[in-house]
Amino acid sequence: MIHNSIIVFTDGSSRGNPGPGGFGAIIIAPKNNEVGSENHEIREVGGREEHTTNNRMELQAAISALSIIPNSEFIIRVYTDSAYLLNGITRWIHGWQKNGWKTKEKKDVENRDLWESLVEKSRDREIHWEYVGGHVGVAGNVRCDVIAQTYADTTEVDAEKKLKLYNGPLSDYPIKNILDISHDAGKVKEKNTKRARSSAKAYSYVSLVGGVVKTHNTWAECEARVKGTSAKYKKVLSADEEQKLIAEWTQTQKR
C-alpha cells in the first residue's frame, strides 16, 4: 500500500450543517520525499470554520492535505468516506468545467471556490481517489473523524491542545494499524442497522431543548424546534421507545 506512494486520509464535519465545522487529514509520506525510502513520516492536520457545511469541510480536508504535499513522482492515494468529494473530483468536475460551472439543471455549482482550489492542487499529479466506508473501523478514517469533530466542537486553540496533532516518524505513531484499510465487520453490521432504522417509518420524534422534552408527529415539527439551538433529538419507532426516551431525558435533566 505504501510503496512509492503517499497515503492520505480525510474527513469533514459540521454541527447543524450549516454550522460550526471542522476537518481532519492524515498524510503518510516517504521521508524527505525520497523514492524507495524505508522511513516514512506522518502528519496530522485539522482546522475549523465558524459557519460551514459537511461538504465544504470534506473538500477543505483534501485541499489542506494536498497543499502540504510537495510535488513528486509518487502516486497520491486519497481515502475518503465522502461520496460528494469522490464523485465530484472524479466524475462531475469535468461536466461542470465544460458547462461554465453550471450543473445539468443550469444551476450554479455549489462550493465552486473549493472545487477550483482542489482542481489546482491536483494539477500535474497522479492522484487515486478511493472510497473507504465511514464509521466501520478503518483506523485512518476514525482518527480523521475525531480530528474533524473536535475542531467542529471547540475553538482551534482548544482543539489543538486536546488533539495534540502528530507530526513525526511513522514508527512512533501511536495508531499502529493506520495503514490497514480493512473494515470491522461488527461496525459494518452496526452501520447497516442504523441505516435500516433511518429508513423505517417513525412513530414520533422526541426533542430536548432548554431542559424541556417534547414529542412531534413529523420531522418538520421537530426540526423547527431544534434548528439553530443547542438541542437533542431522536426518531423513535414505537410508543414504548418514546416513553423510555422521555423518561431517560427527563431523569437526566433532574441530575
Question: For residue range 47-72, what is the model confidence (pLDDT) as tens digits?
Answer: 999 999 999 999 999 999 999 998 88
- Res 36 pLDDT > 60: no
- How large is the average pLDDT for residues 123-140? 88
Of the pLDDT bands very low, low, confident and very high (cuts 50, 70, 90), residue 185 is very low
Q: How many CB atoms lie within 10 A of CB 220?
A: 9
- Res 193 pLDDT > 60: no
- How large is the average pLDDT for residues 216-232? 92
- How large is the average pLDDT for residues 104-111? 95
pLDDT at 49: 97
- Res 38 pLDDT > 80: no
DSSP string, the chain: --TTEEEEEEEEEESSSSEEEEEEEEEEEEGGG-TT-S-EEEEEEEEEEEEE-HHHHHHHHHHHHHHTSPP-SSEEEEEES-HHHHHIIIIIHHHHHHTTSB-TTSPBPTTHHHHHHHHHHHTT--EEEEE--TTS--HHHHHHHHHHHHHHHS-HHHHHHHH---EEEGGG-S-TTTT--PPPHHHHHHHHHHHHHHHSPPSEEEEEETTEEEEESSHHHHHHHHTTSSEEEEEESSHHHHHHHHHHHHHHHH-
pLDDT at 160: 95
Of the pLDDT bands very low, low, confident and very high (cuts 50, 70, 90), residue 197 is confident
| Catalytic machinery residues | 11-12, 58, 81, 135, 145
pLDDT at 253: 66
Between 253 and 114, residue with greater pLDDT = 114
Percent of the chain with pLDDT over 90: 75
Binding site, annotated residues for Mg(2+): 11, 58, 81, 145
pLDDT at 35: 60
- Res 16 pLDDT > 50: yes
Rounded distance, CA 119 to CA 127, Å?
11
